[in-house]
Homo-oligomer: A and B are copies of this chain.
């Protein structure tokens, strides 16, 4: 089934698989079946096999998938094998939490710059990163930063996004509760916990 378009949903599941096999790798395992991996990460075995089949023959019939192979291949597909630097704009509650979040590391990510408008914050250090004035944002291009994280109030989110695009950012993770519009060469992923929380009651039994 090679040479076919890869579903977005498959891409969405790859990080899930990666985390699962990293976990198994830490425990010293060398191979895993689709059934076992599925049990670990909550995805049915046939879907795992289908997903992996888009990228070639990862597995060995009768045995399963080599864990080292999986880690290497998935990382490569997701382009996590090179280090990515990200800049966060807005060092409030959300921005601070992100700076201290350790989960980025295993995906080859690092927040290496932080910006804020608040003069009192500028110059201080949070989680080892110096806070800079937001007016100097366009300097990030020279520092090799291509990813931006928006952690500012909704009212200024679009403005920050525009500045990021101008500064050469090509991928944005948006934590503000606003849809933002950017040129289509720029990829935006919006994370809005309010949206997710609002969906929850619908699925609950009783009124």
Contact = CB atoms under 8 A, between A and B. Distances in A.
A203 B101 contact: no
Nearest to A172: B200
A196 B200 contact: no
B205 A79 contact: no
A80 interface: yes
* Contact size range, A: 35 or more
Contact of A200 (B94, B171, B177): B171
Given A93-B100, A97-B94, A78 B199 contact: yes
Which residue of A18, A94, A171, A201 has the most chain B CB atoms within 10 A of its CB atom? Answer: A201
A97 B193 CA distance: 11
Contacts of A191: 191, 193, 196
A104 interface: yes
A148 to B, nearest CB: 10
Contacts of A77: 202
Given A103-B194, A191-B196, A204 B170 contact: yes
B202 A11 contact: yes
A185 interface: yes
A1 interface: no
A204 B16 CA distance: 19
Contacts of A96: 93, 97
Contact of A198 (B15, B94, B179): B15
Interchain residue pairs A-B with the least CB separation, the first 7: A15-B198, A103-B194, A93-B97, A79-B201, A107-B198, A187-B203, A42-B179
Given A14-B199, A86-B197, A94-B97, 19 more contacts: A11-B199, A11-B202, A12-B199, A15-B198, A15-B199, A18-B198, A42-B179, A78-B199, A79-B201, A79-B204, A84-B201, A98-B193, A101-B194, A170-B204, A170-B205, A173-B200, A185-B205, A187-B200, A191-B193
